[in-house]
Amino acid sequence: MDLDETFRTVGSKVSTGRVSASYHPYRELRHTWRHADGVLAFRISDYMRGSSQPVMESLAWYLLCRARGADCPKGMEERYLRHVRTREFWSNRRDQYLGRAKNLAFRAMGNERDLGAAFDHVNKHYFDGSVERPELAWASGSPRTRVGFFHVPLGVRAVNRALDSARVPRYVLEFVVYHELLHSLLDVEDGVSRRVRHTPEFRRREKVFERYDDARKWLTRIARRQRSEGGCPPGVTARFTACVDAVSSP
């Protein structure tokens, strides 16, 4: 059963009316939909090509229910969500993903700052050197969208180029690295569909950072400046940590 037929079949069970679906080469794993001429049209990331039929049916249930604003029948979305969070899924698509990641420069040394040195300091000082060094990258793009993110299955940690500056205190870069490493260690699953990112334990551990208050104040000033230039993306609060975490990681 092809993609369009899968969505039409599930759509008939969800009572969504006319449905269509096609693949699209998004840079990230993302799916979109829109109503046009009486048809609910889905664009599905082509990273999903080659996935099993049960996975694609699970994806169709997941997206069709979201498009309707309805709860997905219990368990119907689990197969898809578990599938795309596996290292196996991403290892088979690594070259494809990295080939599209034109915004990432995979080198630790930037123009002014060294991500490798920041990681080594944070790892030694806060984690007793227990964290395996990931693939480090500098990311282009507006810091009001995100200043750091991690791609767990690929082991990629990226920091926005805005922090690659001698004008940015080194501890600010180290705080962002620390924040992201905490996520890789402390994020938990609340069921299958929801990832809990800022647990009470996360907030407690975050404040262990020696210059936590200074780093937060410095980043808040950046957030205010960015807000005056256009603000955080829709749905993201003006607190800079929210902007930091506005990332769709698998």
pLDDT tens profile 41-64: 999 999 999 999 999 999 999 999
Residue 164 contacts residue 129 (beta carbons within 8 Å)? no
> For residue 226, what pLDDT is reported?
56
Instruction: Give the residue-averaged pLDDT of 19-44.
Output: 93
- What range defines the domain where residue 101 resides? 97-244
For residue 102, what is the domain's CATH number?
3.30.2010.10
Are residues 129 and 223 both part of a single domain?
yes
> For residue 115, what pLDDT is reported?
95
**Is the pTM higher than 0.75?**
no
Give a yes or no: residue 91 inside a domain. no
Instruction: Give the residue-averaged pLDDT of 130-139.
Output: 89
> For residue 187, what pLDDT is reported?
61
How many residues comprise the chain? 250
Cα dihedral across residues 160, 164, 167, 172: positive or negative: positive
Are residues 40 and 124 both part of a single domain?
no
Element (H, E) at 136: strand 135-139
Q: What is the share, in percent, of the chain residues with pLDDT greater than 90?
A: 46
Sorting pLDDT into bands at 50, 70 and 90, what band is 225? low
Are residues 25 and 101 both part of a single domain?
no
Give SS3 for 22: strand
Q: Look at the chain and report how many structural domains it folds into.
A: 2
Are residues 66 and 108 both part of a single domain?
no
Q: Which residues contact 104 (CB under 8 A, 6 or more apart)?
A: 98, 137, 138, 139, 140, 156, 158
Sorting pLDDT into bands at 50, 70 and 90, what band is 151? confident
Q: Which of 84, 119, 135 is the last residue of a domain?
A: 84
69-83, 152-166, 175-189, 199-213: which has the minimum mean pLDDT? 175-189
Are residues 138 and 41 both part of a single domain?
no
The two most distant CA atoms of the chain are separated, in Å, by: 59
Give a yes or no: residue 90 inside a domain. no
Are residues 47 and 105 both part of a single domain?
no
